[in-house]
Structure 1
Amino acid sequence: MQAINLPSKPPNSPHPILNLSFRIFFSAGALFAIITMTLWACVFTGHTAIDAQTLNPLYWHGHEMIYGYALAIVAGFLLTAVKTWTGVMMPYGYKLLGIFMCWLLARLGWIAFGLGIDIGLEQSAWLYIAAVFDLLFFGSMAFVIFRAVWQVKQYKQMGILAKLTLLTLGNGLCYWGIISANTTMTKIGVYLGFYLIIGLVLTMGRRVVPFFIERGLSIPNAAGVAETVTVRNSKAQDIASLLFFFTFFITDLFYPNKYLLTISALGVAVVNIVRLMGWYHHGIWHKPLLWSLFVAFFGMCVSFILYALQPWFGYNHSIGVHGLAIAGVGMTTVAMMARVSLGHTGRSIHEPPKTVTVMFALMVLVFISRVLLPLVDNSHYLWWIMVAQGAWISCFVLFCSSYLRILTNPRPDGLFG
């Protein structure tokens, strides 16, 4: 067994928000979700001076949802989880602040571009600045993870670095597409990042969701008797889900074939619906931190079905994309942040803030309004989008009002973390 040298004195940081990465990245990610969706509503309705000739506004929105919001949550989760997996202390204090500032400065560059702020240079200059800081953000995050994994020789965790490398590649393709005015390359970069995040959610969800269900329900009841809850997982399902998703991902992005797309998308949906049946326990409906994850996974299954049917019914491809994004990125990350923020700050996961049920209901409304309602009433398409935007913003406003205090205050038990 690898010996781990413990620090000679307890760690400390200038502020609790810099104790562990999830604190600052979850806080900033939630605030950014409000800002960027508000700005997207302005861009979408033509109320900004964004340079649409340099970058299609749809790709501006897609990039920042994936490489801005989603990667902030991934960074907060990974840089916290790697510490748990390896026992190696991850950056905190000013070192963590340095990694975070790279993410923040890149986002400010994209916001400035979206607003059309003029500094006497071409608007694309903002994206060049953002590219530099995005590269530093990805590089610094990968370096600290690699160093921790290498130190304890947990080489099986190198898969994380492979995913970060592919995400860096996708982000680089976005920037290169913008610089070379190649919209196809920009599109590939955006979708590559999106599907990598969804693949990560499917992989991590397979481990995390059943674990959370078992831990969340295996507690003493009113009579003081603890019921042991065990949910089913299957290696065959894991392999089938991976193969179907990989085929779907390649088909949708590089090899458009409606037969292969339908078969692979339906395959992902069916495998994961069967998986959800093995995870189901009636007790989840009493626990919003559990049913939210279950509903998020179900929403992804519905979205894959929409992908499968789209070539035959002719509705817009973006319906499936947004369904997968809202369920697989939006709902999943909000549910994960709501639980992790409690557990890792020494608070009870069985007593979440009372607002969480409303938060999750609002995210369900986002899915219904942006994905399902346009299918049955396309004549009010713009209204449904605006309702979805409002519900998204309201969800994260509630998250911030409930969780920023938790994320910025010390642990109640006085421990560092």
Structure 2
Amino acid sequence: MQVIDLPSKPPSSPHPILNLSFRIFFSAGALFAIITMTLWAFVFTGRTDIDAQTLNPIYWHGHEMIYGYALAIVAGFLLTAVKTWTGVMMPHGYKLLGIFVCWLLARLGWIAFALGVDIGIEQSAWLYIAAVFDLLFVGSMALVIFRAVLQVKQYKQMGILAKLALLTLGNGLCYWGVFSANMTMTKIGVYLGFYLIIGLVLTIGRRVVPFFIERGLGTSNAAGVAETVTVRNSKVQDITSLLFFLAFFITDLFYPNKYLLTISALGVAVVNIVRLIGWYHRVIWQKPLLWSLYMAFLGMCLSFILYALQPWLGYNHSIAVHGLAISGIGMMTVAMMARVSLGHTGRSIHEPPKTVTIMFALMALAFISRVLLPLIDTSHYLWWIIIAQGAWIACFVLFCISYLHILASPRPDGLFG
């Protein structure tokens, strides 16, 4: 008797936003970017009851931008990309919701701490609660990625898992520093997380930016024949960039030496400027989903140059830090979300919402106001920060207006995803 293998039951979820991780994490991350920056404006001006003796407000801000916002976008991207890389279905429906709720509860703990919410317990108790859910969030994300990689034996993806493990370590150091009243430990945890995220951006960006450029610039010539665009990349550039970045990372965080910092930071900048030259095509300026990615990488290169010059010119170290954060995390994540949210919901990447150009311009304004203008005019430093905060918030408000309905709606082609 012939045996017929019936097709497996197609995946389903109670709502489209739980179909794949990018939907819920991009949506929540964008909303959180608005909330946390607005709250930071109040914390920065001393208008909340945050317990500054327990945690320096600057590190509250740094932690939530890295382990709150950035890690949400990383989760949304990775849990979607790993499905593409391995062919293994990632958590969806209620399983995905469970991972997301861990992230959400951790963020609520940090918000409650910043606001000084008093329910008869010490303020630091909010961070103990947050620590538990942060650990569950990253642990569950790493576990499902590990299972997928192991299932198809794609061991080259283990580097991603190593970075997630180190991010967990960095987050743990933040909490350890808070609970042991060791602000230096908290600082190390914040900066460790920051540079690991930048490392992820450099690693993943090297893979996807050329791919997006080639896909986005495929055109037809006058005879109607399809023409492909190929951008240059190099394994030597990958290895050199990684080595220079590793040296920069260790020097800036653990072994402050202005000569090593300048050499390593310039090394990262030069290698990636050469990489950008290989990626360049004049038509990208007609495609906001492409020039935004290009500008994000260019902003990172400029920021590494600022790191290199800072020991010699004496401006504040935080200027270079914020340059790298706004370009490498802010612009890069917004540009990636704007593109991925269209492609993975079955919509045309060649017809993005008309607001995307304004979104990217606002993020560029945040970079100019927070990084470049303070170098020229320090007398209005507070105003430059306020303008940058406003531009960041406005950028994500526009993203939410333009993309939340896309992320929460079924695919037009009726497929699951």
Normalised to the residue count of structure 1, the TM-score between the two structures is: 0.98
Distance 1:174 1:7 in 2: 48
Q: Which amino acid aligns with 1:263?
A: I
> Partners of 1:366 and 1:358 in 2: how far apart?
12
Indicate the residue corresponding to 1:320 in structure 2. 320
Amino acid at match of 1:342: L
Partner of 2:90: 90
Partner Cα distance (2:31, 2:253) in 1: 31
- Tell me if 1:137 matches 2:137: yes
> What residue in structure 2 maps to residue 402 of structure 1?
402
What are the within-5 Å matches in structure 2 for residues 330-369 of structure 1? 330-369=330-369
Is residue 124 of structure 2 the alignment partner of residue 124 of structure 1?
Answer: yes
Q: Could you tell me which amino acid in structure 2 is paired with residue 100 of structure 1? A: F
Shift in Å, 1:236: 1.4
Hey, what does 2:178 align to over in structure 1? 178
1:126-205 mapped onto 2 (5 Å cutoff): 126-205=126-205
Measured in 1, the distance between the counterparts of 2:383 and 2:207 equals 38
Q: Give percent identity, aligned residues only.
A: 88
C-alpha separation between the residues in 1 aligned to 2:349 and 2:123?
46
Matches of 1:179 and 1:71, distance apart in 2 = 22
Distance 1:217 1:47, change over 3 A: same
Runs of 5+ consecutive residues of structure 2 not aligned to the other structure: none
Q: Which runs of 5+ in 1 are unaligned?
A: none
* 1:267-295: CA deviation from partner (whole Å, max 9, x where unpaired): 11111111101110000000000000000
Equivalence for 2:232: 232
Question: Take 2:64 and 2:329, find their aligned partners in 1: how far apart are those partners?
Answer: 13
- Report the Cα offset of residue 226 of structure 1: 2.7
Q: Which amino acid aligns with 2:153?
A: K
Q: Equivalences for 1:96-107 in 2 at 5 Å? A: 96-107=96-107
2:294 is the counterpart of 1:294:
yes
* Alignment partner, residue 386 of structure 1: 386
**Residue 18 of structure 2 corresponds to residue 18 of structure 1:** yes
| In structure 2, distance between residues paired with 1:186 and 1:6 | 54
The residue number in structure 2 matching 1:249 is: 249
Matched, 1:412 2:412: yes
Deviates more, 1:186-195 or 1:200-209: 200-209
RMSD of aligned residue pairs (Cα, Å): 1.2
The answer to whether the aligner puts 1:270 opposite 2:270 as a matched pair is yes
- The 2-side partners of 1:82 and 1:228 are apart by 26
Q: Please state whether the residue corresponding to 1:379 is helix, strand or coil.
A: coil
C-alpha separation in 2, matches of 1:371 and 1:92 = 40
Give, in angstroms, the shift of residue 317 of structure 1. Answer: 0.3
Q: Which residue of structure 2 lines up, in the alignment, with residue 58 of structure 1?
A: 58
Aligned to 2:215: 215
| Distance (Å, rounded) in 1 between the aligned partners of 2:373 and 2:108 | 33
CA distance in 2, matches of 1:6, 1:38: 53
Change (3 A) 1:76 1:222: farther
Question: 1:88: how far off?
Answer: 1.0
In 2: Cα distance, 1:390 partner to 1:219 partner: 38
Q: Which residue of 1 aligns with 2:76?
A: 76
Measured after TM superposition, the shift of residue 223 of structure 1 is 6.2
Distance in 2 between residues matched to 1:255 and 1:247, nearest whole Å: 10
Deviation at 1:7, TM superposition (A): 6.7
Q: Per the alignment, do residues 248 and 99 of structure 1 end up closer, same or farther by CA in structure 2, a change over 3 Å counting?
A: same
Q: Provide the C-alpha distance between the structure 2 equivalents of 1:6 and 1:131, rounded to a whole number of angstroms.
A: 45
The CA distance in 2 between the partners of 1:108 and 1:12, in whole Å, is 29
Q: Which residue of 1 aligns with 2:115?
A: 115
Indicate the residue corresponding to 2:34 in structure 1: 34
Q: Given the two structures, how large is their TM-score scaled by the length of structure 2? A: 0.98
Q: Provide the C-alpha distance between the structure 1 equivalents of 2:140 and 2:221, rounded to a whole number of angstroms.
A: 46
Secondary structure class of the residue paired with 1:271: helix
| Matched AA of 2:308 | A
Moved more, 356-365 or 206-215: 206-215
> What is the identity, as a one-letter code, of the residue corresponding to 2:164?
L
Deviation at 1:220? 2.5
**Following TM superposition, where does structure 1 have runs of at least 4 consecutive aligned residues deviating by more than 2 angstroms?**
219-227
Q: Deviations over 1:240-281 (max 9, x none)?
A: 111110000000000000000001001111111111011100
- CA distance in 2 between counterparts of 1:171 and 1:282 reads 41
1:222 is displaced (CA, Å) by 7.2
The answer to which of 107-116 and 230-239 deviates more is 230-239
Instruction: State the number of aligned residues.
Output: 413
Seen in structure 2, the aligned counterparts of structure 1 residues 353 and 145 have a Cα distance that, compared at 3 Å, is same
